[in-house]
Amino acid sequence: MASISLKNIVKRYGTGKTAVPVIHGVNIDIKDGEFVVLVGPSGCGKSTLLRMIAGLEEITGGDLLIGDKKVNDLEPAKRNIAMVFQNYALYPHMTNYENMAYGLKLAKVPEAEIKQRVDKAAKILELGHLLDRKPRQLSGGQRQRVAMGRAIVRQPQVFLFDEPLSNLDAKLRGQTRIEIQKLHAELGITSLFVTHDQVEAMTLAQRMVVMNGGNVEQFGTPEEVYHTPASTFVASFIGSPPMNLLKNASGGKTGQIMGIRPEHIDLVDVGGWAFTVDTVELLGAERLLHGTVGGEMVTVRVEEGKAYPKAGETAQILARDDRLHWFDAETGKRV
């Protein structure tokens, strides 16, 4: 296992005046054995960053260290990493055992050791009864576990996951998230996981990197990112539904935007803001009320069993003073 350090990492495509910058001086230190998630919208640079760590993209500037070794110019095969892709990339004509063992055979690992490693990985991933089958005989979730097994048998220093759950349905994504958590708990291998899904990021990460436009907006634990977002971008991206950001409710604070999570707004009888409900989402144990306050969009979360206004009605709401967040209106940064 090993730590990962990115020191002022820059990526540009092209040269000279026509060069297009996509990563703008990223600095991240990932601890040995840590599970870190890179999260952000499409085009934010998270997959490019992962591919630079893997050696699949050249680094334009800065230093990349795996352990205490600079690996900028080291080819992928010599970085002692294993990567799990969105596409399972399994050989259809091979059995699952053969798929998991293939890389070890190419490396001329003795057959007895190959069997030992594959059997151990199959046990961890509950694939033992499926090793004689071919990928086409498996579900999507099982194929992804075979792909993870192929990575495990290599015994790498670092696992890199590039949106590995994107091709699974919602139920399988949830199950596979749990399996990945168990896998990390058992193996303790330094892991970097890329996703655009903030639910995946919140549930998997020990720490998470929120990226926006090739920059790191915030690096912290899921609790830190959720409860103390560093910017309006983080506040609006992390959370489902996202934080309410109101420009006209600053309470006398000039040049500021007020943020409040939907679960920190209460329905009150008197003394609140007039809230006109447009739509209501019924989500089992809760209700999401979407409406407006003074012309600005607001979402309120109401627990099951509590009375709530219907679409078209107006109610009084009050934001909890101890849960307010303030951001600079010009820079979007937390104040």
Domains and CATH numbers, the chain: 4-229 (3.40.50.300), 241-328 (2.40.50.140)
Confidence of residue 136 (pLDDT cuts 50, 70, 90): very high
Dist CA 237 CA 245 (whole Å) = 12
Q: CA nearest 132: which of 148, 116, 120, 118?
A: 118
pLDDT of residue 173: 84
Q: pLDDT tens digits for 188-233?
A: 999 999 999 988 999 999 999 999 999 999 999 999 999 999 999 9
Higher-pLDDT residue of 167, 69: 69
Q: List, in order, residues 6 or more apart from 246 with CB less than 8 Å away.
A: 257, 258, 259, 260, 293, 296, 298
pLDDT of residue 174: 86
Residue 70 has pLDDT above 80, yes or no: yes
Dist CA 106 CA 147 (whole Å) = 17
Global model pTM greater than 0.85 = yes
pLDDT of residue 95: 95
Higher-pLDDT residue of 62, 163: 62
Confidence of residue 252 (pLDDT cuts 50, 70, 90): low
Higher-pLDDT residue of 164, 41: 41
